[in-house]
Amino acid sequence: MAGLLGLIQELIASLFYKNQPEYEKRKQLKIILKQLKQQNPTYFKPITCQVLPSFADMLLEFVNLLKPVCPIFSKTIQNEDARLAGLYKDYLIKARLPETQQLLFENFSYKAMKEKLLSAAKPADVLANIQKDFQEFMANFAGEEFITFDPEYGELDRLVNLCKHNFRNLFNLFDPSFDSTQKGRPPKFTATPGEKIFQELLDLYFIVAGIDISRGVEKNLGCLIERLERDKANRTKQKLQKLLGRIDQLLKQNLNPDFILNLIRVIKQEPNPQS
């Protein structure tokens, strides 16, 4: 009966809106709603235009998975001390060199070169040798490891931005008294109207769109952990690998950017909100 009613509604809509943009819009929104219904668990209630607590539950799991990752950034490449943060980024570059070449890295520091020149009987000859050695050393940076550094660091930077994002406003729309930083206080999430959550969903979409938990991200994070923890690094890296795997799974499934965009579309009743 429900199927027949749907066909009748579609027929009426086609008669009123045929060859008009409104009819195409309704058709596209219907397709998007069908896709949302296939999501498990269901996050959206079309009749009341509400985003359901299951969405907040999934997002809370995601935020909790990020908690062990984010401090790594604040201690290294996002350190409040800009000089220290820069040194950690330099280290990520240095770590891609073979071990023998890493040892030569310090030879080209300002301090090392200054000492050589001041103690040289013939500074001009020493300077010429330094320039020759430096050119040979720089040839190491032409390999694939360094060609991929910039895009892989860009992926890491997107994860940094995700760690910086304030999820509190979004959670408070489902439970005004909830604070994700407090332990032992379970949330009491309830459904929230779509129009209230619209802006937070839009912010969330832009922060997760384009994030790729690639091997490059894992490799860079592993290097930072090795620098921070040294003896305990292997154990921490194993735990991190599992966390990143689950984060990646959520970004590709339950919190997929395309799915979040579909939520935005049905709330706004606009299948192409960016057009």
Give the tens place of pLDDT for each residue, 142-190: 556 656 677 888 888 899 999 999 999 999 999 998 887 777 778 999 9
Give the tens place of pLDDT for each residue, 117-133: 777 777 777 777 767 66
Give the tens place of pLDDT for each residue, 77-119: 999 999 999 888 888 887 777 666 655 666 656 677 777 777 7
Residues in the chain: 275
Decide if 55 contacts 247 (C-beta within 8 A).
no
- Sign of the dihedral through C-alpha 43, 44, 45, 48: positive
User: What confidence tier does 140 reach under pLDDT thresholds 50, 70, 90?
Assistant: low
- Domain range list for the chain: 1-38, 41-78+153-268, 82-147
